[in-house]
Amino acid sequence: MILISRICEMWTVLLTTACIIVKVSGDTELDLKKLQQDFYEWRLKDSPEYSSEIGQVKYNDIVTDFSVEQLDKRKKIVEDYIMKLNKIDRIRLSKDQQYSYDVFLDTMQTFVNNYKWRHYGALNPITALEGFQTDPAFFLKVTPFDTKGDFENYIARLIAYPKQIDQIIKRFSMAIHVSATYHNVTIAHVPGQLAKLIVSDPTQSVYFTPFNDTIKKLAVPQAEIDDMVKRGKEATANFIKSIKLLKSFIETIYMPNTRKSYGVDGWKDGQEYYKACLKWHLSTDMSPAEVHQKGLDEVKRIREEITKVMREKEGFHGTLSQFYQIIKARPSLHMSTGGDLLQEYKNIIFKRIYPALPKMFKNIPDLKVVVEEEPYDGPGGQYLIGTEDGSRPGVFQVNLLKPSKSPTFNMMALSLHETVPGHHLQGSYALKAGLPGFQKNIEYERYFAIPYHFPFYTAYTEGWGLYAESLGEDLGLYKNYMELIGRYGFEIFRGCRLVVDTGLHYFKWSREQAVQYMIDNTPLPRAEIETEINRYITWPGQACAYKIGEIKIRELRERARAALGGKFDIKDFHSVVLTHGAVPLNLLETIVNDWIKETVNNHAPGIVG
Ligand SMILES: *[C@@H]1O[C@H](CO)[C@@H](O)[C@H](O)[C@H]1NC(C)=O
Ligand SMILES: *[C@@H]1O[C@H](CO)[C@@H](O)[C@H](O)[C@H]1NC(C)=O
């Protein structure tokens, strides 16, 4: 729109001609927007649980279709959208619209191109890291319970879940049939997770919780409430019954048929499959060998940084691993209670980081982040994005269960990564950038289906998270060498992932080889490393995205600095990177290059939009 009026001003003399151009390009833009909106609507309906998560209530009464047939149906639908997109003349769009067009095409093309892998991960919809059983409390949290309609929707979903579980079992069965099952480590914890949901009295179930108290607040006749409670109880009981079935299926049928190799190279064409996963996550062309080598180089470089501090500041001459075990055990580097830990996270984020942000960012969106206790014993911290209107804030969930195992020197790097300038700031710019729905709200779920899934541009997203950790240095936020040691520990760990992920899935590394490499090069004790390795085995390629994305952002920043010299403004650079939402790394490069050109020519003082 801004562009259109500018054209009109510049061409007043040729008003008639100009306005014809405007009309045509306006229509093209409208066509694109309409098609994107249409696609987004389909995505919401196709992923109803995800719709609820982003605050859309329209599909709160249905659940995701996990049938095997759906794998084919989705491809047809997406191909149809691609055909329609091909009819839109990209060249008539404004620059920003062209980027959006490119993301749209890449999103759909990535999906369709990977159709040939539909009978791999996509047939195995539940892992210890993913599935309804991992965090039922979250599902309840994003479901509204304010009206009778909300409860009716919820009951409809409870009724639909047994059918969904049926579909999940069918997919798993097919995975066994085509020899594309997970390694046992991916699934081994699932029966235990399911067991927690199985109770003999449905009113004791977590799924029944809303019928206990919340429902009493409804302003509807008691008889209607009683009726809903009755149906809720029945539906919960049936749901639990099918959870039991699923558990027994996994234990007695799936587990004995799990694949023997740790890496996906054990599957037919597994190395090709791994390359497809890697490309999906990295959104750039890098071979497993290049990723592996980059990892080795990074680990060597970061090791030197750590060794320097270790020797110079602490006079320590043992191994890196010994050093971290010693400092992690120091009582002076711990909080004594979970409550203290929570308070310290808040101090770090709100008293130390936020005041420093304006040095490197401008137009910071006013969307809040809150720090809360993680409801289960998961990772050290994780971020859940809020809603665009701010009605649900972004949430930084922190693990408060083990203060004695959570050294304070890690807290700064973790906070930078998950909140600001990391994922919360990144998500906030994207939410406020006026992007179409499918770009603004990305479904960071269904990892299992990758690469037959819509990309969420892991390298951009996680690369930024890691880049945010490094910004802590630029902003002078690491207040002593201990906090810096925490940061290096996080960083070397991401470097190791490049080596180990490719090692396991492509270069026939044994699990023990992977464990040993990480023991030698990261701060983590063996038990935590084993959990990590299981994650890499479960999500091939995902762990490589962090370091590759960060390196790319840094490279683009240095390129811009060199090209622009005195005209380089770090705030503008960050806006350019953040205001187009999550994009493939290849497109990010184009966007930054275009911006450099514009700035050199001095046409645009800052960025458009
Ligand atoms: C619901 O209320 C019943 C009866 O008061 C109680 O026994 C049960 O524990 C409650 N269930 C949940 C999930 O809180
Ligand atoms: C899978 O792991 C479970 C839990 O550790 C174990 O009981 C089972 O024997 C394992 N199965 C296979 C095939 O390795």
In a domain, 104, yes or no: yes
- Check residue 78 and give its pLDDT: 98
pLDDT tens-digit series, residues 422-479: 999 999 999 999 999 999 988 888 999 999 999 999 999 999 999 999 999 999 999 9
> How close is the Cα of 255 to the center of ligand 2, in Å?
7
Instruction: Look up the domain containing 295 and give its range.
Output: 272-354+429-553
Residue 211 CA to residue 205 CA, distance in Å, equals 11
Residue 103 CA to residue 147 CA, distance in Å, equals 38
Residue of minimum CA distance from atom 4 in ligand 2: 188
Residue 80 CA to residue 124 CA, distance in Å, equals 27
> How close is the Cα of 188 to the center of ligand 2, in Å?
6
In a domain, 603, yes or no: no
Residue 506 CA to residue 524 CA, distance in Å, equals 24
C-alpha separations of 444 from 49, 156, 441, 453 in Å: 12, 25, 9, 11
Q: Which atom of ligand 1 is nearest to the CA of 203?
A: 11
Exposure on the CB side of residue 40, measured as CA atoms within 13 A: 17
Mean pLDDT of 483-502: 97
pLDDT tens-digit series, residues 543-590: 999 999 999 999 999 999 999 999 999 999 999 999 999 999 999 999
Point out the domain boundary residue: 537, 553, 569.
Answer: 553
In a domain, 480, yes or no: yes
Instruction: Using alpha carbons, select from 423, 453, 441 the residue that is nearest to residue 540.
Output: 453
Beta-sheet strands, E only, within 262-398: 369-373, 381-384, 394-398
User: In this structure, what token pair is assigned to residue 341?
Assistant: 């830990």
Q: Which atom of ligand 2 is nearest to the CA of 258?
A: 13
Residue 586 CA to residue 285 CA, distance in Å, equals 9
> How close is the Cα of 203 to the center of ligand 1, in Å?
6
Residues facing 395 on adjacent strands: 370, 384
> How close is the Cα of 386 to the center of ligand 2, in Å?
38
Q: pTM (2 decimals)?
A: 0.91
Mean pLDDT of the chain: 93
Residue 269 CA to residue 123 CA, distance in Å, equals 16
Q: Which of 158, 209, 212, 240 gets mutated to test ligand 1 (max ligand atoms within 8 A of its CB)? A: 212
In this structure, which long-range contacts are made by residues 524-532, counting pairs with CB atoms below 8 Å and at least 24 apart in sequence? 524/324, 524/493, 525/325
Mean pLDDT of 312-332: 93
> How close is the Cα of 258 to the center of ligand 2, in Å?
9
Residue 499 CA to residue 518 CA, distance in Å, equals 9
The runs of H, that is alpha helices, within 114-189 are 136-142, 148-177, 184-187
In a domain, 283, yes or no: yes
SS (H, E, C) 419-458: CCCCHHHHHHHHHHCCCCHHHHCCCCCCHHHCCCCCCCCH
Instruction: Phi first, then psi: give them for residue 371, nearest 5 degrees.
Output: -105, 125
Residue of minimum CA distance from atom 9 in ligand 1: 204
Q: How many CB atoms lie within 10 A of CB 413?
A: 26
Q: Which atom of ligand 1 is nearest to the CA of 205?
A: 13
Residue 488 CA to residue 8 CA, distance in Å, equals 53
User: In this structure, what token pair is assigned to residue 105?
Assistant: 């095409």
- Check residue 405 and give its pLDDT: 86
Is the pLDDT at 380 greater than 60, yes or no? yes
Q: How many CB atoms lie within 10 A of CB 209?
A: 16
> How close is the Cα of 261 to the center of ligand 2, in Å?
14
Cis (ω within 30 of 0) for the bond into 48? no
Which residues, 6+ apart, have CB-to-CB distance to 598 below 8 Å? 604
Q: How far is CA 293 from the centre of its chain?
A: 25
Q: Which of 255, 257, 260 gets mutated to test ligand 2 (max ligand atoms within 8 A of its CB)? A: 255
Residue of minimum CA distance from atom 2 in ligand 1: 212
> How close is the Cα of 184 to the center of ligand 2, in Å?
6
Q: Structurally, how many domains does the chain consist of?
A: 2
- Check residue 83 and give its pLDDT: 98
Q: Any residues with Cβ below 6 Å from ligand 2, and which?
A: 184, 188, 255-256, 258
In a domain, 197, yes or no: no
The runs of H, that is alpha helices, within 11-68 are 15-46, 48-53
Mutual angle of helices 270-282 and 458-474, in 10-degree steps: 50
In a domain, 164, yes or no: no
In a domain, 322, yes or no: yes
User: In this structure, what token pair is assigned to residue 558?
Assistant: 């240095």
Residue of minimum CA distance from atom 10 in ligand 1: 204
Yes or no: say if 82 and 108 are a contact pair by the CB < 8 Å rule: yes
For residue 586, the SS3 value is helix
Q: Any residues with Cβ below 6 Å from ligand 1, and which?
A: 203-204, 208-209, 212
Which residues, 6+ apart, have CB-to-CB distance to 534 below 8 Å? 128, 185, 186
In a domain, 337, yes or no: yes
Is the pLDDT at 598 greater than 70, yes or no? yes
Point out the domain boundary residue: 553, 577, 595.
Answer: 553
Point out the domain boundary residue: 538, 553, 568.
Answer: 553
Instruction: Phi first, then psi: give them for residue 427, nearest 5 degrees.
Output: -65, -35
Instruction: Phi first, then psi: give them for residue 260, nearest 5 degrees.
Output: -80, -35
pLDDT tens-digit series, residues 105-129: 999 999 999 999 999 999 999 999 9
Residue 347 CA to residue 489 CA, distance in Å, equals 22
Is the pLDDT at 1 greater than 50, yes or no? no
The model's confidence at residue 55, banded by pLDDT at 50, 70 and 90, is: confident
Q: Which atom of ligand 2 is nearest to the CA of 184?
A: 1
- Check residue 603 and give its pLDDT: 54
- Check residue 601 and give its pLDDT: 87
> How close is the Cα of 208 to the center of ligand 1, in Å?
8
The model's confidence at residue 167, banded by pLDDT at 50, 70 and 90, is: very high
- The separation between the first and the last C-alpha atoms of the chain, rounded to the nearest angstrom, is 10
